[in-house]
Amino acid sequence: MTAGPPSDAERVAWLRLARTPNVGPVAFEHLLQRCGSAAAAIDALPGLARRPVDIPSKAEAERELEVGDRLGARLICGAEATFPPLLAALDPPPPLIWVLGRTELLTASAVAIVGARVASAAGQRFARTLAADLGQAGKVVVSGMARGIDGAAHQGALPTGTVAVLGGGVGDIYPPEHADLHERLAVEGAIISETPPDHRAQARDFPRRNRLISGLSLAVVVVEAELKSGSLITARLAAEQGREVLAVPGSPLDPRARGTNDLLRQGATVCEGAEDVLRALEGLGGLREREHPPWSGPAQAPPDALRERVAALLSPTPVTLDDLVRASGGPAPAVFAAVVELSLAGLAEFGPGGTVSSG
């Protein structure tokens, strides 16, 4: 995606394409490469999906822009030079984000602090102190504005700079008791989301939100987390993205320490204070450049026979694209294009780690 300020018409087209059902970040990036522009991709969508596609109208996109404008938020498309560089380096990057507040915080060196919603008083105090100390060391603190650890981290970092990533839109105040925090973040910090500004968060929105929390950060610190928690998803995504993962050790008698202690068993770095985080960042050595797999070559239209062969190979069990290339015998770019077309038709689904399953 080339950097540059999009025209009003291009901005509307980006928004329409990003809001089209079944057009996730993978399909969005492929369609831009294949069609040359968001507007051309919109025109090509029904033919590629081989069925009617529910593409939002220009009026619907313009209404979303009006809602964001009323809130004082800004839409930043992936083609813009102001798009956060760490998010642009994700594979694939989010097509666009809404931002409320200080956009300059999105390009600063950042650390995520996440953890349990039902957090202990000690855990909240630790998160608040850690965030304040990291802020004094020049780091922006990223979290998810949830109850417990997230809220404490934002409060500790408000004087120095903090970013909240929401599952709902930037205007969605949740939990309700964080109304004052939301108001302060919108002025003193920043609030970002991939979803429309007035969208109310649903369960399916949080994995994408967690991906942005880790994506904006050089390191992720988990303070408290049970074994099955969204914080551990954020930690896994951070590891996949090449970020540092740190965990605060806790008592084996506290269920909220089981997740963090398990992270430590898996090789996460121990965090007992800001010094541990800063030391981990010193050894990071810079994030890796995006690796372009063999299917990311020149976009091409797959033959019908290959598309049908790939569709027959898919099942509810996720497989890698490399597996599909080997099993289908087709060229990697054409197999990838076939999977994208199948995903647009609702017959394939992209999963974590570049896997694919039947839709």
pLDDT, average across residues 19-34: 92
Q: Which fold has domain 297-358?
A: Arc Repressor Mutant, subunit A (1.10.10)
Residue-level pLDDT at 294: 43
Q: CATH 3.40.50.450 spans which residues of the chain?
A: 108-188+198-282
Residue 138 three-state SS: coil
Provide the pLDDT for residue 1.
47
pTM of the model: 0.91
5 pLDDT higher than 70: no
Residue 104 DSSP one-character state: G
Which residues of the chain does CATH 1.10.10.10 include? 297-358
Contact 42, 55 (CB under 8 A): yes
What's domain 108-188+198-282's architecture? 3-Layer(aba) Sandwich (3.40)
**pLDDT band per the 50, 70, 90 thresholds, residue 288:** low
* pLDDT tens-digit map of 57-112: 999 999 999 999 999 999 999 989 899 999 999 988 999 999 999 999 999 999 99
**Does position 312 have pLDDT exceeding 90, yes or no?**
yes
